């Protein structure tokens, strides 16, 4: 090593007998020992890593969404906007993960698909909680998690809680807009349906941006999140179609057929409709 290199690195810590290391802080021993293949096939490692990485990103998305919902309900919209921006950026990372998984060919996947049994991404409880936070509530999925009472209760709580759009509508009410009273403290376990009073309120927000700047920014952040979520769903659908065609999913879903169907759902319908009426 040159003298220059020695001077550059002379303050680098190398004695960690009494100090926490990078690996210890991140629990890398546990994290990097969790990729346990059920087959001997080389490409199963790719399959496991992609799904684990996606779950980590979803953990961050949930962390940010939950905090943002609480802040919006408290009227702290500006603080929530930073968190929603982070959600959108994180969504782009999950979308790019499909590009990596799409390098798995049908001939490679069939070598270990049977080893998965009935395990399927359809059973991802974090994905369901992201859907719940965005207002898409489907009661039949709760049954999947009855095996774990603690997890089932956590999901049930999320299922019954108001989503981020409910929080946004509360802000519209607080701003003085006349909103359908049936939407206030509604049954949050039902999927939100478009409402004329909400559409009219958002239309006014977009017509008077200066007056309703916080609400306008919030609306655009919500559109970003839905846009990226639908792009994630589309890339998921096309990756599945590319690898298994129209076979039934390992979890029993209709696979590509199911994924195409959910693409039609809109989380925040009025925010899309006003783009036509403005």
CA distance 248 to 216: 42
In sign, the C-alpha dihedral spanning 54, 59, 60, 61 is positive
Annotated ligand binding at 48? The verdict is yes
- Closest to 183 (Cα-Cα) out of 175, 192, 174: 192
User: Is 8 annotated as belonging to a binding site?
Assistant: no
Cα three-residue angle 81-182-219, rounded to 5 degrees: 20
49 is in an annotated binding site: yes
Please list, in sequence order, all residues whose beta carbon lies within 8 angstroms of the beta carbon of residue 270, skipping any fewer than 6 positions away.
Answer: 194, 195, 198, 199, 202
- Give me the helix-helix angle, 44-73 and 77-101, nearest 10°: 170
Tell me how far apart the alpha carbons of residues 278 and 273 are, in angstroms, rounded to a whole number. 9
**Do the annotations mark residue 206 as ligand-binding?**
no
**236 among the known binding-site residues?**
yes
Residue ranges of the alpha helices (H) in the chain? Answer: 3-9, 22-25, 28-31, 44-73, 77-101, 106-109, 125-133, 149-160, 164-174, 196-207, 213-244, 256-262, 269-277
Q: Is 169 annotated as a binding residue?
A: no
HEC sequence for 88-126? HHHHHHHHHHHHHHCCCCHHHHCCCHHHHCCCCHHHCHH
In a 10 Å sphere around its CB, with 0-12 CB exposed, 13-18 middle and 19+ buried, how is residue 94 labelled? buried
Residue 250 among known ligand-binding residues: yes
Nearest-CA neighbor of 170 among 183, 189, 157, 151? 183
- Annotated binding-site residue numbers for heme: 236
**Binding region:** 47-51, 109, 113, 236, 250
Positions at the binding site for substrate:
47-51, 109, 113, 250
């Amino acid at each position: 090593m040159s003298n220059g290199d020695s001077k550059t690195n002379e303050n680098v810590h190398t004695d960690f007998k009494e100090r926490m290391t990078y690996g210890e802080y991140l629990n890398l021993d546990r994290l990097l020992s969790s990729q346990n293949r059920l087959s001997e096939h080389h490409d199963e490692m790719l399959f496991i890593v992609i799904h684990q990485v996606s779950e980590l990103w979803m953990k961050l998305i949930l962390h940010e969404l939950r905090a943002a919902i609480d802040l919006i309900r408290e009227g702290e919209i500006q603080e929530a906007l930073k968190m929603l921006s982070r959600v959108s950026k994180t969504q782009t990372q999950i979308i790019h993960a499909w590009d990596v998984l799409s390098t798995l060919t049908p001939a490679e996947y069939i070598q270990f698909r049977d080893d998965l049994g009935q395990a399927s991404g359809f059973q991802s409880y974090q994905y369901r909680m992201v859907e719940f936070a965005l207002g898409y509530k489907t009661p039949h999925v709760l049954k999947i998690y009855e095996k774990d009472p603690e997890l089932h209760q956590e999901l049930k709580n999320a299922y019954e809680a108001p989503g981020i759009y409910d929080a946004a509508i509360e802000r519209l009410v607080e701003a003085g807009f006349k909103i359908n009273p049936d939407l206030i403290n509604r049954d949050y376990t039902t999927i939100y349906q478009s409402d004329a009073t909400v559409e009219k309120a958002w239309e006014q927000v977009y017509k008077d941006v200066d007056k309703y700047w916080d609400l306008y920014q919030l609306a655009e952040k919500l559109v970003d999140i839905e846009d990226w979520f639908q792009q994630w769903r589309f890339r998921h659908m096309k990756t599945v179609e590319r690898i298994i065609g129209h076979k039934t999913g390992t979890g029993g879903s209709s696979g590509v057929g199911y994924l195409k169907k959910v693409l039609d759902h809109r989380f925040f319908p009025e925010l899309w409709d006003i783009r036509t009426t403005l």
